[in-house]
Amino acid sequence: MESNSWLIILSICFFIMTLTFVAVIVFILFAAVELRKASVALREFLVRTEEKLQPVIDLSEEALKSLRGVSDDAKAVTGNVRSVSDAVAEFGATIRSANAMVHELQQGIACRASGVRSGLAAALAVFLSQFKSGR
């Protein structure tokens, strides 16, 4: 009897082990099917995302090209402004030197005018004094 009971217990354990093995196989099959579905869904998502992002990437590239063009234009304008600024500075220096020349000329003319006036005054005084004395 004892050997029969061990045989029954071993048969039940083998049956439970077989059921567990079948359950694990079924679980692995379902998991594989779900992994395949997830893989297909991921591929579709990546394709849709790439299709949606491609126009954005193209627009970004065009924007960068435009920005590069604007940057080049800004460099050219900056160079032109620098040239104009240098010309204005040179013109200012020329005006300052012309102003200094005019100031020197004005002082020279004022000195000469003062000398001429003093000379005329002295000559008039001599002329009047000789005219009064009757000569």
User: What's the rounded Cα separation, in Å, for the pair 106 and 103?
Assistant: 5
Q: What are the C-alpha distances in Å from 75 to residues 14, 62, 64, 72, 81?
A: 85, 20, 16, 5, 10
Predicted local confidence at residue 70, as pLDDT? 87
Question: Residue 134 pLDDT > 80, yes or no?
Answer: no
3-state secondary structure the chain: CHHHHHHHHHHHHHHHHHHHHHHHHHHHHHHHHHHHHHHHHHHHHHHHHHHHHHHHHHHHHHHHHHHHHHHHHHHHHHHHHHHHHHHHHHHHHHHHHHHHHHHHHHHHHHHHHHHHHHHHHHHHHHHHHHHHHCC
Tell me the residue type at 101: M
Predicted local confidence at residue 22, as pLDDT? 97
Is the pTM higher than 0.75? The answer reads no
- 18-22, 51-55, 110-114, 122-126: which is most confident: 18-22
Question: Residue 108 pLDDT > 90, yes or no?
Answer: no
Average pLDDT rounded to a whole number, residues 93-110:
87
Predicted local confidence at residue 135, as pLDDT? 57
Average pLDDT rounded to a whole number, residues 107-123:
84
Question: Residue 1 pLDDT > 70, yes or no?
Answer: no
